[in-house]
Amino acid sequence: MEEQIKMIKQTSEKEIASAKELKALEDLRVKYLGKKGELTAVLRGMKDLTPEQRPVIGSLVNEVRDELEKQIREKEAKLKQELLNKKIESEKIDITLPSTKVRRGSLHPVTRIIEDMEDLFVSMGYDVVQGPELETDEFCFERLNLPKGHPARDMQDSFYITDEYLLRTQTSSVQARTMIANTEKTPIRMITCGKTYRREDDATHSHQFNQIEGLVVDKKERNVSLADLKGTLEVFVRKIIGANLDLRFRPSYFPFTEPSYEVDVTCFKCGGKGCNLCKQTGWIELLGAGMVHPNVLKMNGYNPDEFGGFAFGTGIDRLAMFRYGITDMRYLYTNDVRFLNQFDRKDEE
Ligand code: DAH
């Protein structure tokens, strides 16, 4: 019987050592140590032994069982560790792999013009101010020398909300608001940028667009003149649109300025030689400007005998088109990323 136990020990040890999977190991445990296992069978046969032999064999079986249990536990731990290692190996993250790129957006050309305009004018001592888009008839028209029934109102078809409130048709409303807020404090040097609305919609007009407005008011003795207006607009145009551009002042009419001008700029397409865009003139209309009308000063708290100044206003969309050579204004509003992606500041840095 001792021989038999030793045989069991030898073969089982070999099998345990060569077990490759947890399942196989479990099978071995059942095979040798289970209720119907080989070692248990030996114990059962002990009844046929002599009383002297029993404790000897009994303790031998126990010894062997303890030993096998220990080997199985150790083997099990080893197999589990191997399994874990394999798992870690297969799930390893390769940190050298390039990640999926986050696509960076770019600023809208109109936003870029606004930011550049604000930077430029702040550098010249101007304040950047804001006004409401939902405006009163009073600030949008009346205080700008456009009383009810004035024919020049026809040029700005408007969205009225009530008889008194409308969506502003021009940022010139902020001129009146700034003067009222300052009453005879000088100098006023402000620009304002923002959305404006008119009832029009075709290839070159949108019902919503962007304007920029500038206003300077100072004491008469400080002589704010047309020369200052011209110099300011020259800096503005050359910094914002193109360094080589020239300006041309044409007499015009706006109710809130006297004298008034329409200001043209060298055609960006042909450089002034004449082409179909500028109708062979070499010039393109860019903005409206003039010296602040005495009535406007008076209505907004500044005595025209003591104060004077200039104002200008233009469409930001136009500026963007001129700067970037965009020929169709609708590109600015259709949110096509193929178009918008072309205005990454990175390209210019
Ligand atoms: N507000 C005018 C428009 O929308 C543009 C304009 C003209 C603004 C002359 C001015 C100015 O400040 O002096 O057509």
Q: How far is the CA of 282 from the centre of ligand 1 (A)?
A: 23
Pairing of strands 283-292, 307-315: antiparallel
Question: What residues contact 284, with CB distance under 8 A and at least 6 apart?
Answer: 264, 265, 266, 267, 268, 277, 278, 322
CA-211 nearest atom, ligand 1:
4
Cα–Cα distance for residue pair 286/330, rounded to 1 Å: 18
Residue with CA at minimum distance from ligand 1 atom 4: 170
Cα–Cα distance for residue pair 31/327, rounded to 1 Å: 88
Q: Are 63 and 43 in contact (CB under 8 A)?
A: no
> Could you tell me which of 102, 301, 130 has the C-alpha nearest to residue 212?
130
User: Does ligand 1 lie within 6 Å of residue 257's CB atom?
Assistant: yes
Cα–Cα distance for residue pair 31/39, rounded to 1 Å: 9
Cα–Cα distance for residue pair 137/173, rounded to 1 Å: 9
CA-196 nearest atom, ligand 1:
4
Cα–Cα distance for residue pair 136/141, rounded to 1 Å: 8
The tens place of each residue's pLDDT in the chain, 349 residues long, gives 788 888 888 998 899 989 899 898 899 889 888 888 888 888 788 888 888 888 888 888 888 889 989 999 999 999 999 999 998 888 888 888 888 888 778 889 999 999 999 999 999 999 999 999 999 999 999 999 999 999 988 888 889 999 999 999 999 999 999 999 998 888 999 999 999 999 887 766 788 999 999 999 999 999 999 999 999 999 999 999 988 899 999 999 999 999 999 999 999 888 899 998 889 999 999 999 999 999 999 999 999 999 999 999 999 998 998 899 887 888 898 889 889 888 876 555 5
Q: Which residues pair with 113 in a beta bridge?
A: none
User: Does ligand 1 lie within 6 Å of residue 313's CB atom?
Assistant: yes
Q: Are 172 and 313 in contact (CB under 8 A)?
A: yes
Judged by DSSP in three states, 94 sits in coil
User: Does ligand 1 lie within 6 Å of residue 37's CB atom?
Assistant: no
Residue from 172, 213, 260, 292 to probe ligand 1 pocket by mutation (most atoms less than 8 Å from CB): 172
CA-214 nearest atom, ligand 1:
12
What is the 8-class DSSP label of residue 163? S
E strands in the chain: 127-128, 134-136, 165-167, 188-197, 208-219, 247-254, 257-266, 283-292, 307-315
Q: Are 12 and 32 in contact (CB under 8 A)?
A: yes
